[in-house]
A and B are shown apart, each in its own frame.
Chain A
Amino acid sequence: MSGNSVLLALPLSRLATGESETTTLYRELRKPLLRYLVCLGLSMDEAQDVVQDAFLGLHRHVSGGGSQENIRGWLFRVAHNQARNRQTSYDRRFSAPLDPEIDSLLDEATPERFVLEKEKFRRMAKAIGSLTDCERECLLLRAGGFRYREIGEVLDIPTSTVGDTVDRAIKKLAEKCNV
C-alpha cells in the first residue's frame, strides 16, 4: 500500500459495544418500566409483554437510525401508549382491591406493624384510586425519578401542566392518607 493511503474511521467500536449497551439499557430500565406499568394497573404478564414490545420497538428505532436522545423517556412513552391501548384491563385491574396482595406482603411483620402498614397501604390505595389518570401517571413517573420536563415528554403534555398536576396530586395523597 502506498504512503498516501487514507485511514477509514469505521464505527466498529460502536458495533462491538452495541449489544452490551442494549443489554445495559434493558438491565437498568426493565424494572422501573415494569413497576410503572404494574402500578398503573397492568398484570405482571401484561406488563412484561408491554416491556418486551417496547424494547423490540427500541431495537427497530435505533436500527432505523432514530434519535438516541432520552432513550428512557422514549421507552416509557412507547410503553405508556401500549398500556393505554389495554385500557379495559387497565381500568378493571386498577380499581380492584389490593388488600389480599398487601396481606401476603406483610406476612412476616409483627402484628402491630402489620396493622399499621396495612392501614397505610389501604388508605394509599384509596387515595390513588381517587386521582385522575393524568395525576396518577405524573406521580408514578415522578416516583420513577423523572423530571417534570421528561414526564411531559412521556405523557405529551406541557411541563407547566406537569408541575400543576404533581402539586395537586401530592396534596390529595397527603390529605387522604393523613400522613
Chain B
Amino acid sequence: MCNFSGKLIAWLDHELPENEAADVERHVKGCVECGSSVHEYEEAGNLLDAYCEAVMASKSKRKHVPWTLVAAGAAVTAAVAGLLLAFLPVLRQQRVPIEQLPAHSAAVVPPPAAVVKVRVGPMKKSQQRHDDTPVHDSARASARNPERNSRQSEEANWMATGQNIQIAIPADAVFPPGVVPEGVNFIADLSIAADGSPERLHLRP
C-alpha cells in the first residue's frame, strides 16, 4: 500500500496544510494506484450525496398525502361556515324547525359538495303543544293562566336563547370514494346568541 493512501481523502476534502496538499497532489499525478483510489473515493462521495437526496425526496413525496386530507378538511369547514351563514337568518326570522324549511332555501347555500342533513335538539312537549294549538285556543289559555303563557313565550324563543343545533354532513359526499369509511359524518355544533348570531361553533367528526 502506498504511503500517501492515508492522506488521499483529507486531500480531497481540502483539509491538509498547503505544503502537504502539494506533496499529495504531485504524488497522485504519478501514482496509478492512488489516482484510482481517489477516483473511487470521489465516486463513493457522489453516490452518498445522490442517495441522501433520493431518501430526502422520497420522504418529502410521501409527506404530501396528509396535506390533501387537511385541505379537504378545510373545505368542509368552509362549507359548514357558508351553510351557517345562509341558514341562520332564516331560522331566526321564521322560528321553525329546520326540517320544515322549504326546499328552495337550500338554493341560497354556497356550492357545498355535501348533502346536508340538519338536526335540531328534540322539541319539548309543551313546545309542540304550543305550535299545534290554534291561535284562539292559545289566547283563551293565556287568559286563564298568564303564568303558563309566560313560560310558553320563553320556550318559543328557544331558537334565540342558546339552543344547541347540530348540522350533520356526510363525509362521503365531501371526500373522494374510499378515503373515508361509509356512513361517517361530520357534525357541526353551534348555538344561537340572543342577537341571532352563531356562537360556540364546533366541528367534530
Q: Which of A4-12, A63-71, A78-86, A163-171 is the interface stretch? A: A163-171
Cα-based distance from A125 to B47 in the complex (angstroms)? 11
Known A-B contacts A166-B13, A170-B9, A170-B41; A124 and B57 likewise in contact (beta carbons under 8 Å)? no
Query: Interface of chain A, helix or strand or loop or mixed?
Result: helix
A38 interface neighbour in B37, B48, B56, Cβ under 8 Å: B56
Q: Which of A15-23, A52-60, A135-143 is the interface stretch? A: A135-143
Interface centre among A34, A43, A47, A170 (most CB of B within 10 A): A170
**Chain A residues within 8 Å of B59, by CB:** 38, 43-44, 47, 101
B101 an interface residue at 8 Å Cβ cutoff? Answer: no
**Chain B residues within 8 Å of A34, by CB:** 56
**Chain A residues within 8 Å of B37, by CB:** 174
Known A-B contacts A44-B59, A101-B58; A148 and B49 likewise in contact (beta carbons under 8 Å)? no
**Chain A residues within 8 Å of B51, by CB:** 121, 124-125, 128
Q: Please state if A105 and B44 are interface contacts (CB–CB under 8 Å).
A: no
Known A-B contacts A44-B62, A170-B9; A139 and B54 likewise in contact (beta carbons under 8 Å)? no
What total of chain A residues lie within 8 Å of the partner, measured CB to CB?
33
Q: Please state if B48 and A124 are interface contacts (CB–CB under 8 Å).
A: yes
Q: Please state if B44 and A174 are interface contacts (CB–CB under 8 Å).
A: yes
Within 8 A of B (CB), among A126-154: 128, 139-140, 142-143, 147-148
A102 an interface residue at 8 Å Cβ cutoff? Answer: yes
What total of chain B residues lie within 8 Å of the partner, measured CB to CB?
28
A104 an interface residue at 8 Å Cβ cutoff? Answer: yes
A155 an interface residue at 8 Å Cβ cutoff? Answer: no
Cα-based distance from A38 to B51 in the complex (angstroms)? 12
Cα-based distance from A175 to B37 in the complex (angstroms)? 10
B55 an interface residue at 8 Å Cβ cutoff? Answer: yes
User: Smallest Cβ distance from A139 to chain B, in angstroms?
Assistant: 6
Within 8 A of B (CB), among A26-75: 34-35, 38-39, 43-45, 47
Instruction: Give the nearest-CB partner of A43 in chain B.
Output: B59
Question: Would you give the 0/1 interface string for B51-77, flagging 1 where the beta carbon is closer than 8 Å to chain A?
Answer: 111111111111100000000000000
Q: Please state if A139 and B15 are interface contacts (CB–CB under 8 Å).
A: no
Cα-based distance from A171 to B45 in the complex (angstroms)? 10
Q: Please state if B62 and A98 are interface contacts (CB–CB under 8 Å).
A: no
B49 interface neighbour in A47, A104, A143, Cβ under 8 Å: A143
A177 interface neighbour in B47, B60, B62, Cβ under 8 Å: B47
Q: Please state if B10 and A167 are interface contacts (CB–CB under 8 Å).
A: yes
Q: Please state if B55 and A104 are interface contacts (CB–CB under 8 Å).
A: no
26 contacts between A and B (CB under 8 A): A35-B52, A35-B56, A39-B56, A44-B59, A45-B63, A101-B54, A101-B55, A101-B58, A120-B47, A121-B51, A124-B47, A124-B51, A139-B48, A140-B52, A142-B45, A148-B10, A148-B13, A166-B10, A166-B13, A167-B9, A170-B45, A173-B44, A174-B40, A174-B43, A174-B44, A177-B44
Known contacts A121-B54, A147-B13; 19 additional CB pairs below 8 A are A35-B53, A35-B56, A38-B56, A39-B56, A44-B59, A102-B58, A105-B57, A121-B51, A124-B47, A128-B51, A140-B52, A148-B15, A163-B15, A171-B9, A173-B47, A173-B48, A174-B40, A179-B40, A179-B43
